[in-house]
Amino acid sequence: MDSGHNSGFSQLFGQPSALVVPRDSDSNDSQKKLKIGVVLSGGQAPGGYNVISGIFDYLQERAKGSVLYGFRGGPAGIMKGKYVEITPEYIYPYRNQGGFDMICSGRDKIETPEQFQQVADTAAKLDLDGLLVIGGDDSNTNACLLAENFRGKNLKTQVIGCPKTIDGDLKCKEVPISFGFDTACKVTATKRNFLSLEPLNFFVDLATSIQKGSLDWERYLRCIRHAFCTTPSPDWWKRVLLVVPCHRSQTQAPTPGVVFSSEMICEGTIERFVELLKLTYSSKTFTNLIFYKYVEEV
């Protein structure tokens, strides 16, 4: 990566990657009592409470005597010092539940020097060892900026970003998919099982009426891409039936599932095919391959 890409993160750029691996025994349990803060940032996504529950359970089991603080109302809660201590009684009703109302979320951004200082003051007041930001691409960018700021001030608080989004647009080599996206796809498909109550042609018309390039079009394509990339179980395919009108008998009984237009299927398939080619060939070979095929057809 050239220097232009790391100019804004001189403190963080080039740090080694850390991998979480299982260990053989519990002999290395931390004897240090930790103080961790957690904040929900941005829109809601399934699994937010599971992340908080996982952190809480780890601290209770592996670092006894530790404290977990939840900042209320998103990033604004950190700046304003609004927080609650997470206890077993407090977290119990929210385990494995949806929603973000346990500590609530927010879309505020930490941008100005005054705001960065407010967050630093809160971290110092609570003597935080770590701050976990659960959010999407914008929220994790903000987390990076906050970590850079803390590192520059030699603060001990380590800032960690947790990828949360239902859009499926936050992924990399280390993060194949964000939590929330898989559940969102499955729930969307399940909610559309009313197909069995209506004539098939109604839903075919509905799918084909979606304007290409629109938000709804992109949502349908994301479901298809997700299916192609993750190869779900047979049960998933049964609930998310890819119905191509030209390949389905008009006399066939309605089946619960989702109707995708044939154009959606084609676009999703071609995108996956191109993605696999890029993984197989180098970028130069891939470009030459596509160009040669184009000249051959012309």
Between 245 and 152, name the one with better pLDDT: 152
% of the chain residues with pLDDT over 90 = 35
In this structure, are residues 96 and 49 in contact, taking their beta carbons and an 8 Å threshold? yes
Confidence of residue 227 (pLDDT cuts 50, 70, 90): low
φ, ψ (nearest 5 deg) of residue 179: -70, 150
Confidence at 2, pLDDT banded by 50, 70, 90? very low
Task: Tell me the pLDDT band of 262, cut-offs 50, 70 and 90.
Answer: low
Q: Which residues pair with 239 in a beta bridge?
A: none
pLDDT of residue 164: 87
Are residues 111 and 65 in contact, defined by beta-carbon separation less than 8 angstroms? no
Residue-level pLDDT at 15: 80
Asked whether the predicted pLDDT for residue 181 surpasses 90, the reply is: no
- C-beta separation of 150 from 120 below 8 A: yes
Return the amino acid letter for 72: R
- DSSP structural state of residue 179: B
Residue labelled with tokens 């040669």: 292
pLDDT of res. 130: 96
DSSP secondary structure letter of residue 164: B
Quick one: pLDDT at residue 231?
58
Whether 82 has a pLDDT exceeding 80, the answer reads yes
Q: Which stretch of DSSP H or E encloses residue 52?
A: helix 48-62
pLDDT for 243? 44
290: helix, strand or coil: helix
Cβ–Cβ < 8 Å for 279, 236 = no
The 10s digit of each residue's pLDDT in 195-223 is 444 444 444 445 555 667 777 777 767 77
Under the banding of pLDDT at 50, 70 and 90, the label for residue 280 is: low
Q: What is the Rg, in whole angstroms, of the alpha carbon atoms belonging to the chain? A: 24
Q: Which residue type occupies 34?
A: L
Give the mean pLDDT of the chain.
75
Residues in Cβ contact with 41 at an 8 Å cutoff, skipping those fewer than 6 apart: 74, 75, 105, 106, 107, 133, 134, 135, 136, 139, 142
* CATH code for the part of the protein at 31-163: 3.40.50.450
Distance CA 264, CA 166 (A): 20
- Determine the residue type at 163: P
Length of the chain, please?
Answer: 298
At 5-46, the pLDDT tens digits run 555 778 888 888 777 777 766 655 667 899 999 999 988 888
Note if 169 is an active site residue.
no
Check if the beta carbon of residue 168 is closer than 8 Å to that of residue 139: no
Residues 84-107 pLDDT 10s: 999 999 999 999 887 788 999 999
**Cα 256 from Cα 191, distance rounded (Å):** 10
Q: Specify the pLDDT at position 123.
A: 97
CA neighbor of 65 nearest in space, from 45, 35, 21, 109: 35
> pTM above the 0.85 mark?
no
Residue tagged active-site, from 167, 169, 205, 235? 167
Give the per-residue pLDDT at 212: 72
**Can you give the residue ranges of every domain in the chain?**
31-163, 182-297
For the stretch 134-169, pLDDT in tens is 998 889 989 999 999 999 999 999 999 998 888 877
- Supply the pLDDT for residue 273: 64
Confidence of residue 291 (pLDDT cuts 50, 70, 90): very low
